Amino acid sequence: MNLKSMTQPEIGAVLKELGQPAFRAKQVYTWLHKGVRSYDEMTNLPKGLRDQLAEKYPICAPKVVRKQESQKDGTIKYLWQLSDGNCVETVLMRYNYGNTVCISTEVGCAMGCAFCASTIGGLVRRLEPFEMLDEVLFTQIDSGLPISRIVLMGIGEPLDNFDNVLRFLELVNSEDGMNISMRHISLSTCGLVPKIDALAERKLQISLAISLHGPNNEIRSKVMPVNRAYPIEVLLDACRRYFAATGRRIHFEYAMIDGVNDREEDAREILRRMKGLPAHFNLIPLNHVEESPLKPSSKAAVAKFQKILEDGGITATVRRTLGGDIDASCGQLRRKYNKESSRA
């Protein structure tokens, strides 16, 4: 295991085997969570220990291969190259309440959603905990902006990488690390029901977001193949169990797709299905993907859809589009880079 994927007690066990005193664990852990690129930067460690750690546990910092900054709103999109040459995306978004980073949890994605560029080419591999942590750390370091919130909503399905994601959450929340509150972390899933139940058992205070994108099985299965395994009724039952276990209101992501899921009757069907489930709907103007025939709904259709939900008692907001002048949508920058690399 990479040293940065370890908890402080686990690092302590490694150092004990090397004959080091217990206080060294906090020193090493703190340095790693500051984003050092070399053990030589750990100036309060003996040189002999630094050399031992460098030999047994090399630090693998990601490299920026593409960086785009929006001239409209300051959103920054990073394409990071990992130690094995694979690339993942991270997006830094600036809000008046602080800076949020959207991170990837996998290289590629196996879920096959029709509107998403991340899934083109399928799943390559799952990210290790330290690689997710590095997305946050090095985005903060490169941008010079403090990060106070995290959304796991980039490339990949977080619950498909369940154990590594839970370890990442523990690390990024630790007092001697970045110390980002669980209440400032959102995890978005396409709806892997057994993993939602497993997450509920942990009773974490994160925000859970469900990618719904359809009011019924017929529509949702067309754009989200996962619905064939976990139909919408099964998914919403899991959401009710999650709320009962955690007391945390669930957020539903809903990409507005012209002529597919944006009719008035679709909004009314959602109202019927959501009875008794505390929920917030985030209506997302669809970002067009070159390889997909799907188009975004009109502003009028989105506004009407929102009004029907709100009149029916569901809080609904329209997501503010950030990074519209760059490749800010999930998977677009990686897809473009891979195309260019294959032609080179």
* Rg (alpha carbons) of the chain, rounded to whole number: 21
Is position 233 annotated as part of the catalytic site? no
3-state secondary structure the chain: CCHHHCCHHHHHHHHHHCCCCCCHHHHHHHHHCCCCCCHHHCCCCCHHHHHHHHHHCCCCCCEEEEEEECCCCCCEEEEEECCCCCEEEEEEEEECCEEEEEECCEEECCCCCCCCHHHCCCEEEECCHHHHHHHHHHHHHHHCCCCCEEEECCCCCHHHHHHHHHHHHHHHHCCCCCCCCHHHEEEEECCCHHHHHHHHHHCCCCEEEEECCCCCHHHHHHHCHHHHCCCHHHHHHHHHHHHHHHCCCEEEEEEEECCCCCCHHHHHHHHHHCCCCCEEEEEEECCCCCCCCCCECCHHHHHHHHHHHHHCCCEEEECCCCCCCCCCCCCHHHHHHHHHHHHC
CA distance 213 to 262: 10
* From 109, 190, 239, 330, active-site residue: 330
* From 41, 87, 89, 190, active-site residue: 89
Is position 89 annotated as part of the catalytic site? yes
Annotated active-site positions, please? 89, 330
